[in-house]
C-alpha cells in the first residue's frame, strides 16, 4: 500500500505566460498542465528557450502565470498577494541555481544562516541549524571556509544546505549541475536522491541526460508546451 494514491504536491492547470518584447506579446508557456506528487523527484528537460526556467519560476512562486490555476499542497497560488507568495517561498520552497549565488565575503556557515537572519531567528539557533544543514550535505568540516576556498561542487553543496535550512517541502533547482564537472554533478545528484529519500519533493531543470537519469520522471517542454510524455518514468 506504500504507493497508493500519493498526495499531489503541485497541480498546474492550463497555465499561459507571455512576455512583452518591444510592442510584441510573445507567448512563452501555452496550456501547460503539470501534476507532481509529494516526494517525487522530477526533471524538466527541453531545448534552450523552450520555457523551462519560466515554468520553474512559476512553480517556485518567483513569477506568476497570466492565466490558469496553480495549487501547491492545496494552497491556491494563482491570485495570491506578493506577501503571501513571499511567505510561501520562505516556508515551502528551497532554491538551487546553476551559479550557486553565495555571498563571497562570508563563510559557508553564515551563507547558510542568511535565510534565518532575514527570518529573525536567534543567532545561537541559527548557528546550530546551519551546522546541521552543512552536516547533511557533508561539509561540516568546511563551515568556516569562504566560497572562494571551496570547489564548485562544495559551493553548490553549501547552496543546497542554505536551500534546506528552513526545512522546505520542495526543492526547486535550475540547472544545478550546469557549472560542475561530471563527478561533482553525480555527488550533487546523490545528495538530491538522499533529500528525496527524506521526503522532499524535487523539481529540477537540466540539459544533461545523465543528470536527468537520477530523477524518477522527465517532463519535456518544447516551444512552451508540455510534450506528450505522461508515462516517461525512468526504470531503476
Ligand atoms: N523576463 C523576460 N522577459 C522577456 N522574455 C523572457 C523573459 N524571460 C524569458 N523570456 C523569453 O522566454 C523564452 C523562454 O525562456 P526560458 O528562460 O524559460 O527558457 P529555458 O528553457 O529556461 O532556456 P535555457 O535552456 O536557455 O535556460 C525565451 O524566448 C526567453 O527569451
Ligand atoms: Mg533556463
Q: Is residue 44 part of a domain?
A: yes
What's the CA-to-centroid distance between 206 and ligand 2, angstroms? 9
The cell for 44 is 524538466
CA 125 – CA 206 distance, rounded (Å) = 35
| CATH code at position 189 | 3.40.50.300
- The SS3 assignment for 178 reads coil
* Residue 50, CA atoms < 13 Å, CB-side half-sphere: 18
What pLDDT score does 236 carry? 63
Q: Is residue 3 part of a domain?
A: no
Q: Select from 50, 174, 226 the residue to mutate for testing ligand 1; criterion: most ligand atoms less than 8 Å from CB.
A: 50
What pLDDT score does 4 carry? 37
208 CB burial (10 A radius; 0-12, 13-18, 19+)? middle
Q: Give the number of the atom of ligand 1 that is nearest the alpha carbon of residue 54.
A: 18
Q: Is residue 48 part of a domain?
A: yes
Question: For ligand 1, which residues put their CB under 6 angstroms from it?
Answer: 19, 21, 28, 46, 48-54
Q: Give the number of the atom of ligand 1 that is nearest the alpha carbon of residue 46.
A: 21
CA 32 – CA 48 distance, rounded (Å) = 17
Domain span at residue 127 reads 39-52+81-226
What's the CA-to-centroid distance between 158 and ligand 2, angstroms? 22
User: Is the pTM above the cut of 0.75?
Assistant: yes
- The SS3 assignment for 216 reads coil
What pLDDT score does 231 carry? 55
What pLDDT score does 120 carry? 85
Q: How many domains does the chain have?
A: 1
- The SS3 assignment for 65 reads coil
What's the CA-to-centroid distance between 98 and ligand 2, angstroms? 10
Q: Is residue 26 part of a domain?
A: no
Q: Is residue 10 part of a domain?
A: no
Residue whose C-alpha cell reads 531567528 in the numeric block: 121
Q: What is the pLDDT along the chain (236 residues), one digit of tens a residue?
A: 334 345 899 999 999 999 999 999 999 999 999 999 999 999 999 999 999 999 999 999 999 999 999 999 989 999 999 999 999 998 899 999 999 999 999 999 999 999 898 888 999 999 999 999 999 999 999 999 999 999 999 999 999 999 999 999 999 999 999 999 999 999 999 999 999 999 999 999 999 999 999 999 999 999 999 997 655 677 66
Q: Is residue 196 part of a domain?
A: yes
What pLDDT score does 118 carry? 81
CA torsion 116→169→61→109, rounded to 10°?
30
Q: Is residue 47 part of a domain?
A: yes
**Which residue, judged by its Cα, is nearest atom 1 of ligand 1?**
19
What pLDDT score does 5 carry? 41
Q: Is residue 178 part of a domain?
A: yes
CA 59 – CA 52 distance, rounded (Å) = 11
Close Cβ partners of 92 (under 8 Å, ≥ 6 residues apart)? 72, 73, 168, 169, 170
Amino acid at each position: 500500500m506504500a504507493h497508493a494514491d500519493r498526495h499531489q504536491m503541485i497541480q498546474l492547470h492550463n497555465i499561459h505566460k507571455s512576455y512583452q518584447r518591444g510592442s510584441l506579446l510573445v507567448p512563452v508557456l501555452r496550456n501547460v498542465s503539470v501534476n507532481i506528487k509529494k516526494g517525487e523527484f522530477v526533471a524538466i528537460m527541453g531545448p534552450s528557450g523552450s520555457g523551462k526556467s519560466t515554468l520553474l519560476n512559476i512553480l517556485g512562486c518567483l513569477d506568476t502565470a497570466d492565466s490558469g490555476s496553480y495549487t501547491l499542497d492545496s494552497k491556491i497560488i494563482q491570485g495570491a498577494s506578493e506577501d503571501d507568495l513571499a511567505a510561501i517561498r520562505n516556508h515551502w520552497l528551497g532554491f538551487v541555481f546553476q551559479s550557486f549565488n553565495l555571498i563571497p565575503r562570508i563563510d559557508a556557515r553564515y551563507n547558510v544562516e542568511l535565510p534565518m537572519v532575514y527570518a529573525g531567528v536567534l543567532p545561537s539557533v541559527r548557528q546550530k541549524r546551519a551546522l546541521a544543514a552543512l552536516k547533511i550535505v557533508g561539509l561540516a568540516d568546511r563551515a568556516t571556509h569562504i566560497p572562494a576556498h571551496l570547489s564548485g561542487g562544495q559551493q553548490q553543496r553549501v547552496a543546497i544546505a542554505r536551500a534546506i535550512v528552513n526545512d522546505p517541502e520542495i526543492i526547486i533547482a535550475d540547472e544545478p549541475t550546469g557549472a560542475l564537472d561530471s563527478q561533482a554533478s553525480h555527488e550533487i545528484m546523490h545528495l538530491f536522491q538522499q533529500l528525496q529519500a527524506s521526503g522532499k519533493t524535487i523539481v529540477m531543470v537540466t540539459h544533461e541526460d545523465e543528470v536527468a537519469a537520477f530523477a524518477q520522471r522527465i517532463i519535456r517542454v518544447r516551444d512552451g508546451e508540455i510534450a506528450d510524455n505522461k508515462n516517461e518514468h525512468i526504470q531503476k
